[in-house]
Structure formats: C-alpha cells, structure tokens
Amino acid sequence: MHIAEGYLPVLHAVAWTAVSAPLIADGLVQLNRRIGQDRSQRYLLAAAAAFAFALSALKLPSVAGSSSHPTGVALGAILFGPRTMSVLGALVLLFQALLLAHGGLTTLGANAFSMAIAGPWMSWLLYRLLSRFGDAPAAFVAAFGGDLFTYVTTALQLALAFPSTDGGVAASAGRFLAIFGVTQIPLALLEGALTVFVLRSLNAKRKEATV
C-alpha cells in the first residue's frame, strides 16, 4: 500500500506533504510534552513504533502486481493517541523508504497522511466509541477499521492522481479498492488479532509491575 517513489505527479506529492507536515508538527509537540511529563514512556513509544515498522514492512503480493501489508498503527493510537502516532508513523515510513525502498521520499507526505494520520485517527475514534464494550473487542475493531481506512485513503489518493478516462475519480477509486481489497481484508483481521494480543500482554506487564 505504500505509494512508490516517483509514482505520484509532482503537484500531488507536494500537496500531500503540505497537508501532512503541520499535523505531524503538532504531533511532535504532543510527543515532546508526553516525554517531558514521563520519560519512562520512551520505551513504550519505541515498542509501538517497532510494532508498526515490523507489520507494515510485511509486503504480501496482491492482484495486478500490487502488494498489501498490515499497518500496525492502531496500537500506538490506542496507547498514545493519534497525534503522537502521527510522528511515530512518519518516522516508520521514513526509515522504510531509506532502508527498505518501501515507499519513497517524494511520496512520504502522501503515505504519512494515509498510514500515520488517517489510519491512527480512525483507530482512535473506533476505540473510544467501543471501549464501553470491553478493551479487547474495541482494540480489535480499532485495528481492523484503521487498517482498512488506511487502504481506502491510499486508494483515493491514487484515484485523485490517476482518474479513469471512462469514469473519473470514482471509477478509478473502485478499481484501486478492488486491487487492494482481496488481500487487505484478511490482513486487517490478522492485525486486529495481533493488536489485541500485544495490548493484553502490555496490560499484563503493567499489572505485574504494580504488584
């Protein structure tokens, strides 16, 4: 789902960077404030970033020569909120572009908007709405929904850049969604289960530390 280096037209790449940059800057302020209040959270922040890096680096073949992957951003959004997760997600995408050639620098703004901003906000909203029904079901739906919302956002970004000649943006978006959807829905279910498992493990560790 990472949009590859040089794939977007220049104006689109610049526009998504302009949209994403102030949101990530706001997240950086939030992140610095959080660390200033409790420096011990650095380790948990690093763990959330590593979780997102590991999951989103798993490129699995999709139809039409594309690829899909989990996002891993829901965990950080649940633990720290979407503003902080925007910074962690952007760092993950930057390192993947530099070290794995996964995504790119010119498309970093677009990829950050879909995976570091749109996905975490959706995960956080779903978790807040459903937390009354229990931590595990809320976390599962949050991770599942955030993953799918990331891929929907990416499909719309690509459709805006490459509208179909016989149906415009809507037809193009439908085609991109169909390409990703075959593998993305099962991956979103898997990400939901993994997020619940990791969150439960972290909560168990916290309880042990307070005993």
DSSP-derived secondary structure for 92-125: HHHHHHHHT--S-STTHHHHIIIIIIIHHHHHHH
With beta carbons less than 8 A apart as the criterion, state whether 16 and 113 touch.
yes
Task: Compute φ and ψ for 61, nearest 5 degrees.
Answer: -60, 140
With beta carbons less than 8 A apart as the criterion, state whether 78 and 44 touch.
no
Cα distances (angstroms) measured from residue 166 to each of 137, 161, 174, 181: 42, 15, 12, 22
Other Cβ atoms within 10 Å of 115 Cβ, number: 32
Task: Compute φ and ψ for 67, nearest 5 degrees.
Answer: -145, 160
What's the confidence (pLDDT) of residue 28?
96
What's the confidence (pLDDT) of residue 102?
85
What's the confidence (pLDDT) of residue 25?
97
Closest residue by Cα to residue 183 from 143, 148, 149: 148
Average pLDDT for consecutive 10-residue bins of the chain (211 residues)? Answer: 87 97 96 88 91 87 66 95 96 93 91 96 98 94 96 93 91 87 87 94 73 54
What's the confidence (pLDDT) of residue 210?
60
What's the confidence (pLDDT) of residue 41?
86
Amino acid at 206: R
In three-state secondary structure terms, 9 is coil
Selected from 1.10.1760.20, 1.10.630.10, 3.20.20.70, 3.40.50.1000, the CATH number assigned to the domain covering 10-210 reads 1.10.1760.20
Other Cβ atoms within 10 Å of 98 Cβ, number: 12
What's the confidence (pLDDT) of residue 66?
56
